[in-house]
């Protein structure tokens, strides 16, 4: 009975919080761009979709609003975030500040097991790049983010790790919105270079490579305001 109806939504998460499970699925959907920015996420809809009451759906949406992935307006509802160019710049400014330091910390804590995990991660990343199609592109963005999350977990600071989770999620949104080309293939090779530096314990080099990597990602964005930002906001789309 449990197995049957909890097939897809709400993974296993028996003792876990249901709201958390819903948040995770919604976050994946947002980061994967299956939910477009501006989409309304009504409490009732989310609730019926995941077969829970509005109470827990609301809790999930509140969590996402804390992470900056949805914006809530009083008495109006929750919407998938539509980050402005300015917000996008701030996301990357934050990453430039934090990630080089994370790379240094990670370099000092790398173990052979970590190296194996990174190689598996990069393999998967390469596979998605080889594929074509919109679905592959989404997976590609997600895999690219996972590299940075893996690095954060190796660094061993859970606070910074959580910050990075938020920043990576928001970056994915920004890239989906403002991304120009397939810089990702270039990003893939940069990831490999970073791993090389980490593997050889060259913390400084890893840090510098990371900084450049972030610069490259941001440089690929087209952050000019398009077709009147006020109108866009007013129309909420």
Under the rule (CB under 7 A), what is the footprint of DNA? 17-19, 42-45, 52-56, 58, 72, 74-78
Cβ 155 to a copy of itself, closest distance in Å? 9
Smaller CB distance to DNA: residue 70 or 102?
70
Partner touching 91 among a copy of itself, DNA, none, CB below 5 to 8 Å by kind:
a copy of itself
Q: How far apart are CA 92 and CA 189, in angstroms?
A: 20
- Find the shortest distance in angstroms from Cβ 57 to DNA: 8
β-bridge mates for residue 72, sequence order: 78
Count other C-beta atoms under 10 Å from residue 82's C-beta.
17
Which tokens go with 16? Answer: 């876990």
Q: Which residues contact 17 (CB under 8 A, 6 or more apart)?
A: none
* Nearest residue (CB) to a copy of itself, 104 versus 186: 104
Beta carbon nearer to DNA, 58 or 114: 58
- Residue 8 CA, chain-centre distance (Å), reads 21
- CB nearer to DNA: give 14 or 113: 14
Token digits of residue 122: 């990069």
How far apart are alpha carbons 178 and 226 in whole angstroms?
A: 10
Interacting partner of 90 out of DNA, a copy of itself, none (Cβ under 5 to 8 A depending on kind): a copy of itself
Which of DNA, a copy of itself, none has residue 137 at its interface (CB below 5 to 8 Å by kind)? none
């Amino acid at each position: 009975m449990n197995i049957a109806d909890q097939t897809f939504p709400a993974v296993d998460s028996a003792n876990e919080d249901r709201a958390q499970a819903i948040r995770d699925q919604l976050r994946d959907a947002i980061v994967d761009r299956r939910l477009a920015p501006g989409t309304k996420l009504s409490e009732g809809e989310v609730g019926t979709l995941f077969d829970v009451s509005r109470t827990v759906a609301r809790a999930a949406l509140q969590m996402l609003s804390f992470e900056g992935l949805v914006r809530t307006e009083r008495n109006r509802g929750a919407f998938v975030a539509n980050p402005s160019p300015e917000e996008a710049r701030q996301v990357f400014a934050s990453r430039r500040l934090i990630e080089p330091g994370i790379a240094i910390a990670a370099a000092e804590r790398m173990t052979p097991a970590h190296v194996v995990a990174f190689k598996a991660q990069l393999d998967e990343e390469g596979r998605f790049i080889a594929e074509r199609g919109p679905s592959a592109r989404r997976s590609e963005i997600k895999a690219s983010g996972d590299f940075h999350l893996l690095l954060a977990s190796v660094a061993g600071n859970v606070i910074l790790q959580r910050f990075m989770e938020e920043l990576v999620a928001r970056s994915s949104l920004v890239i989906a919105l403002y991304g120009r080309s397939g810089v990702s293939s270039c990003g893939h090779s940069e990831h490999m270079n970073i791993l090389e530096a980490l593997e050889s314990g060259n913390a400084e080099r890893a840090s510098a490579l990371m900084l450049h990597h972030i610069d490259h990602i941001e440089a690929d964005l087209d952050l000019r305001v398009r077709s009147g930002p006020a109108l866009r906001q007013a129309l909420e789309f």
